[in-house]
Amino acid sequence: MSEEIKVTIDGKEFTGSAGQSVLDVALKNGIEIPNLCHDPRLRPTGSCRLCLVEVEGQQQPVTSCTLEIQAGMVVRTETDQISAIRQTVLELLFYEHRGSCTTCDENGKCRLQSYAYEYQLGDESLSQSLYTEPAPNYTTGNLALEYDPGKCIRCGRCVRICDEVQMAHALTFKNRAAETEVTTAFDLPLNESTCVLCGQCISTCPTGALYDRSAQGQGQAKDLVKTRTTCVYCGVGCQIDLNVNPKKNRIVRVTSEVGCIPNDGNLCVKGRFGMDFVGHPERLTTPLIRRNGKLEQATWDEAIGLIAEKLTKIRSESGPDSIAGLSSAKCTNEDNYVFQKFIRAGIGTNNVDHCARLCHASTVAGLARAFGSGAMTNSIDEFKNAKCIFVIGSNTPEAHPVIALGIREAVVKNDAELIVADPREIELVRYAKLHLQQQPGTDVALINAMMNVIIEEDLHDKDFIEKRTENFAETVEAVKEMTPEKAEKITTVPANAIREAARTYAKADSASIIFSMGITQHTTGTDNVLSLANLAMLTGNVGKESAGVNPLRGQNNVQGACDLGALPNVYPGYQSVEDAEIHAKFEKAWDAKLSAKTGLTVVEIFHAIEDGSVRALYVMGENPALSDPNLNRTRKALEKVEFLIAQDVFLSESAQYADVVLPAFSFAEKEGTFTNTERRIQRVRKAVNPPGEARDDWRIVCDIAAAVGTPMQYENASQIMDEIASVSPLYGGIAFDRIESVGLQWPCLDKDHPGTKYLHKGEFKRGKGKFHPVRFREPAESPDKNFPFILSTGRQLYQYHTGTLSRKSPAIHQKSPTGYVEIHFKDAKEYGIEDGDSIEVSTTRGKVTTKASVGTLVARGWLFMPFHFAEGPANMLTNDALDPIAKIPEFKVCAAKIRQL
Amino acid sequence: MNTAAAKFAAPADIEAFSQAVRGKIRADSKVVRVCIGTGCAAKGSRKIYELFRQAAEQSMDDVKIEAKCVGCHGFCERGPIVVVEPGEILYQRVEEPDVAEIFRETVLGGRVIERLLYEDSATGTRASKAEEIPFYAVQKRIVLENNGRIDPARITDYIAQGGYSALAKVLSSMTPEDVIAEVEASGLRGRGGGGFPTARKWRSCREAKGKPKYVVCNGDEGDPGAFMDRSIMEGNPHSVIEGMLIGAYAIGSEQGYIYVRNEYPLAVEHLGTAISQAREMGLLGKNILGGTLSFDIEINRGGGAFVCGESTALMASLEGRAGVPRAKYIHTVESGLRNKPTNLNNVETWANIPAIINRGGRWFADIGTKNSKGTKVFSLVGNVRNTGLVEVPMGITLRRIIDEIGGGVRDGKRFKAVQTGGPSGGCIPAEHLDTRVDFDELTKLGSMMGSGGMIVMDEDTCMVRVAKYFTEFLQKESCGKCTPCREGLAQMLHILGRITDGEGQVGDIVRLEELADLLEGTALCALGKTAANPVLSTIRYFRDEYDAHIRDRHCPAKECRGLFRYEIDEEACKACGICLKACPVDAITGEKKVPHVIDQDKCTLCGTCWEKCPFTAVMKV
């Protein structure tokens, strides 16, 4: 803790710490010093001059935001002089601010408005604006947001948040003096600038000068009801406030509170502008049943009845293992728990899996083997204080935008050293000391070479290895052969860069590894993860703050879906189905006969459909017809399966194959919890009423369970969580009343447990950390004469997963209308391809037509495609070859060719 | 010692080189010094130099004749200035046709051409040397001493005049602490306007934690009409460089920056030449004069924003960001450029350093007043007879500057006010002309020293318009960051515009004072804090003019259109009919031998009659 300092503000003594401003201390203690240019996320600038205070011993008033507290300081925040100043400053602001409160969206939230009231500005002051009809500006025509210079008070918060927090550097001021206006460089339209549509500018604007375009006229701030919930997009788990106009049952806009955990009020484009799907007219409103080849409206009774009949029949004919279920990383913990319980206890099979299989199955497998737990070891908030961050195979700014803020902050503000290993020149490279552009599929060679250097140069943490790990000697043997020079031949990364990276990582006081699907989606995925675990243990970077091995989970609740046992081999809390003791425990808890055999994984389920051993498939909130590899094969299976149930919010590509479609609640309509990537269990709350006859996912599952004769009874989501706590020690202390305001991080063993910030402190979950000797293996498919390119697939910032949700937003669609393939400009030239041309990309499995995006993001000989777009589905091309341990398919490497159309 | 392409390896080399250069100058050699400062250059002095150079080349005379470009002499009113050595004969207002005559008569013949000498308008006496001209006689030149003597593009000239001897002294015999102590003894205060004690700033920066440390020279002279720094940079760039070198040694810096207005191309050129010559001779770079000091300088050109003269805005601009000041809750000596300790001084401050080191702090401290030591350069402009650049000891009265150096107000008009301190300075009326010029006295009068602008105004100047002029300048140059400056100035300008348009309202003065108070008390940077000075000082000393505008709708100085009228003086009118014919709206009637009359209802106040009347019979009333 930094030094405590006592100051007197308005006659009362308060304690603050060195470096805090008078304003910080005052606001923290409930003394409301008026301010307009202050945002705790930003460096103080002292430009609005409203927070002036009198300080004993100083002749002139001082801005409290820029004034650091000093011992014995005596401050008065409201004197006659100060009030007069504030009144004049406010009057001046109304020369530039049009007082159109009656028609302004911000009415009720606008700070200027409330100060105008507080300081009782006269009517004359409020109507003196020199407002003229605005000329077109950088937001004209943009569907996400709009800037009204007539309401702008030039506080600069939008410009500063864009620079200091988002670091997109899209906004700037132009002109001087009273002509000052916010704009982009060269007045470019917003979507052509470096803007990433995070909308942070809107969030910090103290007036209504920047606002959501789609919120305009849909309800004033004073009439909106805020519901705190957890964002439904990625695994960061940002806390968002859905601002609903109750008269219209509509989410008008999304805000987030500064100071909230884990996102401190920051959001990305999807969280801010991607909620249009909730009230979208294409939402499913009634059950559908396929009759004569067509999906037709049906009643719930008809749908449930049909499902019960079919499932009962198939189970009696072919046994419980002929039925499989795909649970959902988009649904709540409670939904997942009930779903897997139904499959296990209601049907009697362990054939339950979900899309974690396609993203982090290898992480769970690898880290569980090495450390005893498959989750992110540390917390999001710790990145900003790490001394070194090694990002490998994670395009954090696009896939986990709010976590990327912490990485940039670490580098820019706290002088951390960043190493980026990625085949693409991702945005983070700009902040990196080193960019290791390894050939896709060669990660083990790269990491082993780094370990080779660390051991060779005696930079490893011998004490840690000795006391906390085992199996080190074998690993030394395995990395010995992988010299940087040898690795250079395999990875194309220069040997010296590998050396430099190894030294940087090993010498840092705290080094944090961040990885994601660039590591996991390989036939060597588990090996990749194991070698990262080796690297971290080699340098003693596990079990300490701002270090660790940190897989960033993709979906909003993929962590929770795994935690709650939507996996074929484990019950909730990673308890093995094949462990007799555990098996017995669950049979007792669930009062059912359970299968002791590990079930099928996602891709295995589809293969089993092909060979006829799986006849019925129940899909809750997943879209395998777009998300799974080798789509032609997957879609054939969806067509073939005898009985397909799809439970969803939209008629997704997969639901179109279904025999029965069940309309479900979206996250904005339900109560429950999500678990984010840092193991934090956070509340999901109902903000709007559901459309039509849609039902809560877990209730639908319970309805089906009752119909097949194995009833499950719950009053509400909270009750389900209580049951989870009773069977899963990781969640042992979780209950809704404990996570009302801030979520808890598992392991949380009992009601008094405070949750766990970082794992493996003092001791690994499995006792000793285990080194695994891992040797480089080639990917399943390599380029050849016919298919000369290496194709990788992945995500982009603006869309999410299969686009079911994100592509419903006009603002997002405007920025990211369709798919593309990235190609190096020299390769493009060779093929006569220009940027924007239509080209065909094909592999042995299929072909798609898409647009060429020509540039330098990928190196020569490599291609990259985002997989979100149904009109050019990248997964037509991907390889469904599996990692032998984790059964994750190799999305990141396949051999492809291109052809100009 | 060889005087060509030397590279100095030790402090003693400087003196040896200087002697060698001087030794080469033959006693009978002749030099024609042509001022190519901006004022003289604008009047064609470059061509005059060229003609002298050709004449010198073609001369068959056995004596070495040299034509030399030199920097500003200060007496810009009388440019182009040409000085002939020996004899230091100063010719003024030289034109191209005069060159041949000067060369023949004076250079070769040693005869003085009377017609080109300065003539005192009062006494009619002619002066052949600078020191005989009152404009120069009252001045005390330290900073400008070598301006007009040396060729700014030749480092040897500077060294021959004793240049870099201060650096040699510092590096051979003084510790950094000694240097700071010497500067402290001199009492030197910053010449950029703030008047902060230079030694204290240096010491703070020296003691600040963090590396590297930077020294910066502020050459962003933005005041309208001011050209003190410009003339130093153009005319004697090495004095600035030498000052910075000494500062760098004292502070512990290895990198310096000179931030110059891009509107000063000659300054940029001469500084650039000087820096590369200094590098070539080993005066910038690694291990200067064989010692431990390593230092180099880069030039950065400003983009034309007045506010970039403010230190934090300047540093932001140096970093490549928009030139916007920041709140100085952390001093720049601790965290300035790139968040490193940075010592910024103005051009004139740096240029004073070599003299202080050479002659000692006590010598410097003997000049000036108790709290303001040394000299100050002013650009004396406006309605004064001798405009130009003047350097005077601190403590001299305004009256002496205006009357003795400036030759008094032009055209026999009465003096009304002198505006000092640049656009955010104040206007000082006649009753305070005996005020001694120093930092504190000017501040007491509601004005300031500023960087040294001095604008003399005569009786025909409307003080409300003056306030409006400066307010408009500052309003346009406000960066727009803080509310009081951005909107407060805009409002003040709005009100001043109303007053000079004859639409002033009761209460306007109070509102102006309120806004002025707000600016003074709450603006973020010095630009804003002082921006109300023109308004406040004119209200303070010329309130009756404001009242006349607002209450009587009358402009006493008859400058504000609409607030006075034209009338024809019956006595003076010769009924010549010129005004009658010239009036574009036929507002003037009259016949031969009958004094003409202006129909006030028709008159549009265009002023044509006033301009055309050969008998000054048309009056503003």
- Per-residue pLDDT reduced to its tens digit, A631-688: 888 899 999 999 999 999 999 999 999 999 999 999 999 999 999 999 999 999 999 9
**Cβ–Cβ of B483/A156 closer than 8 Å?**
no
Q: In angstroms, rounded to a whole number, what is the distance separating the alpha carbons of residues A29 and A49?
A: 21
Q: Which of B329, B475, B514 has the CB atom closest to A67's CB atom?
A: B329
Answer left, alpha or beta for residue A154, where phi above 0 means left and psi between -120 and 50 means alpha.
left
Do residues A177 and B528 touch, judged by C-beta distance below 8 A? no
Do residues A734 and A563 touch, judged by C-beta distance below 8 A? no
This prediction has a pTM of 0.91
Sheet of A744-745, strand order: A672-675, A680-684, A744-745
In the CATH hierarchy, which top-level class contains the domain B566-620?
A: alpha beta
Tell me, what's the pLDDT at B304? 85
Question: Which secondary-structure segment (H or E) carries A486?
Answer: helix A484-491
Q: What is the mean pLDDT of residues A360-368?
A: 92
Q: What is the mean pLDDT of residues A370-398?
A: 95
Residue A551 token pair: 């897989």
| Architecture per CATH, A789-900 | Beta Barrel (2.40)
Q: Which of A52, A61, A68 has the CB atom closest to B329's CB atom?
A: A68
The full set of domain ranges for chain B reads 28-137, 155-365, 375-458, 463-551, 566-620
Q: Which of A67, A92, A177 has the CB atom closest to B475's CB atom?
A: A177
Nearest-by-CA chain B residue for A96? B487
Amino acid letter, residue A257: E
Residues of chain B contacting residue A44, judged by C-beta atoms under 8 Å apart: 327, 329
**Cβ–Cβ of B518/A88 closer than 8 Å?**
yes
Neighbours of B591 (CB within 10 A): 10
Task: Give the residue with greater pLDDT, A2 vs A33.
Answer: A33
Query: For residue B315, which of B299, B336, B297 has the smallest C-alpha distance?
Result: B336
Residue A529 token pair: 């993860």
Mutate to test the interface with B, among A47, A69, A180 (most CBs of B within 10 A): A47
Amino acid letter, residue A459: L
Give the mean pLDDT of chain A.
Answer: 94
For domain A361-551, the question of CATH label 3.40.228.10 is answered with yes
| Architecture per CATH, B375-458 | Roll (3.10)
Sheet of A660-663, strand order: A294-297, A288-291, A660-663, A643-648, A616-620, A323-326, A352-353
For domain A132-277, the question of CATH label 3.30.70.141 is answered with no
Tell me, what's the pLDDT at A631? 84
Nearest-by-CA chain B residue for A53? B522
A152 φ/ψ angles, rounded to the nearest 5 degrees: -75, 135
Indicate the CATH number for domain B463-551: 1.20.1440.230
Mutate to test the interface with B, among A42, A45, A49 (most CBs of B within 10 A): A49
Burial of A639 (0-12, 13-18, 19+ CB in 10 A): exposed
DSSP state of A439: P
Q: Is residue A2 predicted with pLDDT exceeding 70?
A: no
Do residues A595 and A320 touch, judged by C-beta distance below 8 A? yes
Reduced to 3 states, what is the DSSP secondary structure of residue A605? Answer: helix
Which of 3.40.50.11540, 3.40.50.2300, 3.40.50.2020, 3.40.470.10 would CATH assign to domain B155-365?
3.40.50.11540
| Architecture per CATH, B28-137 | 3-Layer(aba) Sandwich (3.40)
Do residues A789 and A820 touch, judged by C-beta distance below 8 A? no
Q: In angstroms, rounded to a whole number, what is the distance separating the alpha carbons of residues A484 and A493?
A: 9
Q: In angstroms, rounded to a whole number, what is the distance separating the alpha carbons of residues A85 and A12?
A: 23
Q: In angstroms, rounded to a whole number, what is the distance separating the alpha carbons of residues B35 and B69?
A: 6
Do residues A335 and A560 touch, judged by C-beta distance below 8 A? no
Is the omega angle on the peptide bond into residue A262 within 30 degrees of 0, that is, cis?
A: yes
Burial of A477 (0-12, 13-18, 19+ CB in 10 A): exposed
Q: What is the mean pLDDT of residues A365-381?
A: 93
Q: What is the pLDDT of residues B576-608, one digit of tens each?
A: 989 999 999 999 998 888 889 999 999 998 889
Q: In angstroms, rounded to a whole number, what is the distance separating the alpha carbons of residues B72 and B39?
A: 8
Tell me, what's the pLDDT at A873? 87
Q: What is the mean pLDDT of residues A384-398?
A: 96
Nearest-by-CA chain B residue for A59? B521
Residues of chain B contacting residue A96, judged by C-beta atoms under 8 Å apart: 487
Tell me, what's the pLDDT at B472? 95
Q: In angstroms, rounded to a whole number, what is the distance separating the alpha carbons of residues A764 and A777?
A: 28
pLDDT band at A870 (very low <50, low <70, confident <90, very high): confident
Q: In angstroms, rounded to a whole number, what is the distance separating the alpha carbons of residues B390 and B348?
A: 13
Q: In angstroms, rounded to a whole number, what is the distance separating the alpha carbons of residues B46 and B572?
A: 47
Q: In angstroms, rounded to a whole number, what is the distance separating the alpha carbons of residues B391 and B383?
A: 19
**Cβ–Cβ of A49/B483 closer than 8 Å?**
yes
Neighbours of B248 (CB within 10 A): 25
Alpha helices in A728-849 (DSSP H): 810-815, 825-830
Q: Which residues of chain B carry a pLDDT beneath 70?
A: 1-6, 26-27
Tell me, what's the pLDDT at B60? 76
Q: What is the pLDDT of residues A692-709, one digit of tens each?
A: 999 999 999 999 999 999
Neighbours of A812 (CB within 10 A): 26
Query: For residue A508, which of A564, A548, A465, A468 has the smallest C-alpha distance?
Result: A548
Q: In angstroms, rounded to a whole number, what is the distance separating the alpha carbons of residues A232 and A595?
A: 33
* Bridge partners of residue A76, in order along the sequence: A54
For domain A4-78, the question of CATH label 3.10.20.740 is answered with yes
**Cβ–Cβ of B475/A180 closer than 8 Å?**
no
Contact partners, residue B232, CB within 8 Å, separation at least 6:
B143, B144, B147, B239, B240, B347, B348, B351, B377
A777 φ/ψ angles, rounded to the nearest 5 degrees: -125, 150
Residues of chain A contacting residue B329, judged by C-beta atoms under 8 Å apart: 44, 46, 66-68
Is the omega angle on the peptide bond into residue B86 within 30 degrees of 0, that is, cis?
A: yes
Q: In angstroms, rounded to a whole number, what is the distance separating the alpha carbons of residues A682 and A76?
A: 41
DSSP state of A273: H
Tell me, what's the pLDDT at A1? 47
Q: What is the mean pLDDT of residues A526-532?
A: 95
Q: What is the pLDDT of residues A559-573, one digit of tens each?
A: 999 999 999 999 999
Residue B41 token pair: 């250059």
Contact partners, residue A221, CB within 8 Å, separation at least 6:
A105, A106, A107, A108, A109, A110, A243
Residue B602 token pair: 């028709």
Chain A residues with at least one Cβ partner in B under 8 Å? 44-50, 52, 60-61, 63, 66-68, 85, 88-89, 92-93, 95-96, 153-154, 156, 172-173, 175-180
Nearest-by-CA chain A residue for B307? A176
Do residues A114 and A174 touch, judged by C-beta distance below 8 A? no
Residue A833 token pair: 């391809």
Q: In angstroms, rounded to a whole number, what is the distance separating the alpha carbons of residues A862 and A879?
A: 16
Do residues A600 and A307 touch, judged by C-beta distance below 8 A? no
Which of 3.30.420.10, 3.30.70.20, 3.40.50.740, 3.50.50.60 would CATH assign to domain A288-359+557-734?
3.40.50.740
Q: Which of A48, A92, A156 has the CB atom closest to B491's CB atom?
A: A92
Alpha helices in A319-350 (DSSP H): 333-341
| CA B157 to each of CA A626, B56, B239, B359, B448: distance values in angstroms, whole numbers, following the listed order | 80, 19, 12, 20, 36
Q: In angstroms, rounded to a whole number, what is the distance separating the alpha carbons of residues A342 and A143?
A: 43
Question: Which secondary-structure segment (H or E) carries A27?
Answer: helix A22-28
Q: In angstroms, rounded to a whole number, what is the distance separating the alpha carbons of residues A258 and B597?
A: 75
Do residues A223 and A108 touch, judged by C-beta distance below 8 A? yes
A426 φ/ψ angles, rounded to the nearest 5 degrees: -75, 165
Alpha helices in A234-299 (DSSP H): 269-273
Task: Supply the Cα-derived Rg of chain A in whole angstroms.
Answer: 28
Burial of A818 (0-12, 13-18, 19+ CB in 10 A): middle
pLDDT band at A801 (very low <50, low <70, confident <90, very high): confident
The full set of domain ranges for chain A reads 4-78, 132-277, 288-359+557-734, 361-551, 789-900
Give the residue carrying structure tokens 């300790």: B341
Work out the angle at residue A605's Cα, subtended by the Cα atoms of residues A600 and A610, and round it to the nearest 5 degrees. 140
